[in-house]
Every structure is written in structure tokens, then in C-alpha cells.
Structure 1
């Protein structure tokens, strides 16, 4: 088996630039969501004693935010502050309840529910994560972040057919949804995700068919060509892979070209490697 198959799904996601939360770190994600909120007028913990350690100060802030929330349970700024403090204290489990409340108070802010699903997954509550993702997708079928998260989780649970079905459900909704609200479902990104799942399952013919159809229908989009090139490389068709990636390189925006160039260099290195090195992955 080729060493290329290791981490295939994450590799192709990185290459074609889809939104992904693979291998996420919960702390940076929480920080990213909360960034920009702490500079607002924020309930400030009172009666904070002189802290002897950073954790003492954080725990004092936590008590302050909890006091605010006892008086004002729906205070969004205090909820964000509590999440941020608990994140810094590495109390990931303690962020769940305020995240759930923020998600309820901000139904239009899908990022809170995506983060809630990821937090539940991080804590081992996979069923809770699946339910959260599915609820968000039912409300916003075009939310690629939620769909990506759900698909990744289902694949980790060895449920590839469920992952494929989730993607196909969204694709079936797309014509009607996009007629009612143009662009509400990104069909290309959703189909790219389907190709990725086929690739991860080593169903290369089906993956290649998805990418080839996309490249024909969207000839100015470099992403299907990258997917096609990676599949062809995995199948050992290196000349065809190089051709697809070179075309993708010509079409890609400047910020993506370095990544594609690395993929081309990988092909060159693979061609130059002794056969036993390519097969053993040593």
C-alpha cells in the first residue's frame, strides 16, 4: 500500500482549500470565535484579590462572570468572557454550558453551534456532536463548515455510507434552495467534499468521476483539477497527475500556487525514488 494513503482525507482538504476543522485544537478555535469581543464593555469581576499565579487571577475572573450571569443569565458578553476564562484554565468541559446558551441566544450565528459540536466531539460526546451538526445542517443546508464537521466525524466512526448520504441529501436540496436564495448552497464545494470521501474510502474511480465532471462544468475552478491530480497520482498515473496539477497551477490564485507546486514536487520526488522506498513508505 502506498504511503500516500496515510492522511489522504486531510491532505486533499488542505490542498483544495475547503473549510475544514480537521485535527482542530479546541483552545485556538475558542479564541478565534471570541476574538474581538473582549475589547467591548465587559462585566469586570469585582473584589479580585492580588493573584499569586495567573490561574488565581483567571479563577477570580471566572467567579466574577458567574456572579454577573446569576443576575443576568443571558448576558452575552459575560458568557463569552466565561468561555474565554475557562478555555485559558483548560476547562473545556466547562465551556459547554455557556456555549449552548450562546448558541440559543444567537441562532443566526452558526459559528457557535459549529464550535459547540466540535467541543462535544473533543470531549468524546460524539452522539451529541452529530446531533448538533445535523440540527445546524437542517436549518442551514449550505453550511459547509457543519457538513464538513459531520462528515469528518462520521468517517472517524467508520460510517462512510452515512457520510455520503449526508452530502447527497444536501446536493438534492440544492436546486430548490438556490432557486429560492441564489448561492445558499455551494454545490461545487459540496461535490468536492463528496469526492474527498470517495478518495478517503479508496473508491478512486468514483472520486475521479466527481472531480472530472466538476472540472468540465467549472473549467475556471482550479480545485477539481487538484483533486483529479491527487487521485491520478494515488493511482500511479503520474504523467496525467502532473498535467492536471499544472493546469490547476495556471488557474489558481497566487496564494494557492505554492501548495500546488509542492504537490508537483511530490510527484517528481516519487518518480525519482527507488521502487522499494515508494512501496514501503520508509
Structure 2
């Protein structure tokens, strides 16, 4: 299946934002961001879709039968989770996922996926409870903080989201004064980026600029604060300033991200050129 350039760029942008917030530092199952999208079968594809659907349902039934005998069978729980995801049934997928999270507390990925799934289904109370459990064990877990922030903002509680990240940031600064950043339980730059993102969403651009500049000064080798600042400037319509920063971003970024970043920078240039007012002959003569 061919993917349109527009969709391709959109997914590149999403990937960069996730990278920006350091949310790809671990490997997780594709629960929320990669849930199989439902397709509308037509013509010859109808029978194939029906066959695939029946196959998945039989797989799910087989795993359920195993779990009736062995409710904590890890392989069966994983198999049922995968089958439900391939069916596109998120609500049903959360049942084995919740049990996997309970059985594997040492693997926070399951808890994160569970919270994200509940969040996707707008079970904000359940998502909040799960995120809090994760943060109680690891206050610096950036993915859980990001999820908690999203839940709060979805409920129009942006100030609480700011307070949550700011308090965690204060703890990180205290922690950093006692030991090196490499040994700290917190990633200071990621926390600053998360706080800056909230400010940007709230259009508190001066506050976002302050926190981004602090992050840039704090780690001159990290391209992410520069990327965040460039994106914010673009949102404000300051494309020329953004392009200057994008140049530094591309220079500092790891090789595997450079082409994606170039695409993002170029997209902004194209958009800016389209909005520029063409100079008429009369205007040229008056100059």
C-alpha cells in the first residue's frame, strides 16, 4: 500500500515530537500509536477480510481456553493481547494487558501501555491511577509524566499539569546537585522539554522560550531543545528565525534523524513561500 506524502510527513512529525520528549528510549508493544486501523473491505477483499477475522477470533478463543486453565500464563496473555490488537479491539486488548502489568511490575512498559490504552478510551480516572502507580515507583519516568500531563490537559487542568512537571523538575534539580546527571533518576532536559511543550500549547511563548533556552544552555550537545524552540517559533509564524535554528538542529542531530529533520525544515520553507505576497510590477516600480 502506498502512503501519501502528506501522511508520510505527518508521521515523520509525530515521530520527531516523540523523539523530542525522549519517549522512544524504550521498546514497547504497539498498543496505542500503532493499533491496526480498520479497513473497509470491498469486492474480492471481502472474503479475505472475513477469513482473516475468523482466523483471529479462533486464535483469541484458543488463548482464552488456555487462560481458563492457567489464568497467569504469560505466553497466552501476550497472544491474546496481540490477537485483540490485530482485530483493532482496544477495549478487549486491555483485559490481558492489565493482567500482564500486574504480573510484571518490574517491566513498566506494560503499565505505560495500559495507561495509554485507558487514556485512548477516555477512561481518565483509570489512566490517572495507573500513571500514579508508575510515578510512585519512578518519579522521573518521562513517558508516564507525559501521559499524566495529557490526561490533565484533556480535562482542562493545565495548571495542574504545569505544577506536576515543575515539581518534578525541582526534584530533578535537587537530585542533580547531589549526584551526576548520568546517575540521576531524572532526565533534566526531557523534563524541561515537557514543561516547554505545555507552555507552548497554552501559547505562553515567553515562558516556553525561557525554559527552552535554559535547556539549550544546560546541554549544548543535545539537539532536542533547539528543535523544540524551532517548532515553537514556527507556530508563532517566525519562520526565518526557525530556519536559522533548524540549521543548528540538523548539524547536531544524530545521523539517523538528519534527513527527517531536513524534511521538516523544508516543509516550513514551502509553507512560508506560499504565504508570501507576490510583488507586482507596480510595486517594483515604486521601490
- TM-score for both structures, normalised by structure 1: 0.75
**1:148 equivalent in structure 2:** 146
Within 5 Å, give how 1:42-191 maps onto structure 2.
Answer: 53-175=51-173, 177=175, 179=178, 182-191=183-192
Local SS of the residue matching 2:88:
coil
Change (3 A) 1:17 1:163: closer
Q: 1:197 to 1:81 in 2, by over 3 A?
A: same
How far has the Cα of 1:97 moved from its partner? 2.3
Alpha-carbon separation, structure 2, partners of 1:242 and 1:223: 15
Indicate how the Cα distance of structure 1 residues 15 and 262 shifts in structure 2: closer, same or farther if over 3 A, else same.
farther
Distance change in 2, residues 1:58/1:14 (3 Å): closer
In structure 2, C-alpha distance between the alignment counterparts of 1:11 and 1:72, rounded to whole Å:
38
Rounded Cα–Cα distance in structure 2 between residues aligned with 1:80 and 1:271? 48
Counterparts of 2:59 and 2:264, CA distance in 1: 48
* Mapped contact 1:15–1:226 kept (Cα < 8 A): no
Q: CA 1:88–1:185 in 2, change beyond 3 Å: closer, same or farther?
A: same
Q: CA deviation at 1:15?
A: 7.3
1:102–1:56: structure 2 CA closer, same or farther, 3 Å change rule? same
Per-residue CA deviations over 1:127-175 (Å, capped at 9, x if unaligned) read 2112211221121122221112222222232221122122123212224
Q: CA 1:271/1:75 → structure 2, altered by over 3 Å: closer, same or farther?
A: closer
Aligned equivalents of 2:235, 2:58: Cα separation in 1: 54
Distance 2:33 2:200 in 1: 29
* 1:241 matched residue in structure 2: 242
TM-score by length of 2: 0.74
Q: Which residue does the alignment assign to 2:223? A: 222
Q: 2:248 is paired with a residue of what secondary structure?
A: helix
Select between 78-87 and 240-249 the one with higher mean Cα deviation.
240-249
Say whether residues 1:264 and 2:265 are aligned partners: yes
Q: Give the secondary structure class of the aligned counterpart of 1:273.
A: helix
* Helix, strand or coil at the partner of 1:225: helix
Q: How far did 1:214 drift? A: 1.2
Looking at structure 1, the residues matched to 75 and 21 of structure 2 have their Cα atoms a distance apart, in angstroms, of 33
**Post-superposition offset of 1:62:** 2.6
In structure 2, distance between residues paired with 1:91 and 1:269: 39
Unaligned runs of 5+ in 2: 1-12, 25-29, 37-49, 279-287
> What CA distance in whole angstroms lies between the structure 2 residues aligned with 1:90 and 1:231?
34
CA distance in 2, matches of 1:72, 1:188: 44
**Residue-by-residue CA offset, 1:80-117 (whole Å, 9 max, x unaligned):** 11212222333322222221111111001111111111
Alignment root-mean-square deviation, CA: 3.0
- Alpha carbons 1:221, 1:251 under 8 Å: kept: yes
- For each residue in 1:243-270, what CA deviation from the matched residue of structure 2 results, as whole angstroms up to 9, or x when unmatched? 2222222211122222332343244335
Q: 1:29 to 1:240 in 2, by over 3 A?
A: closer
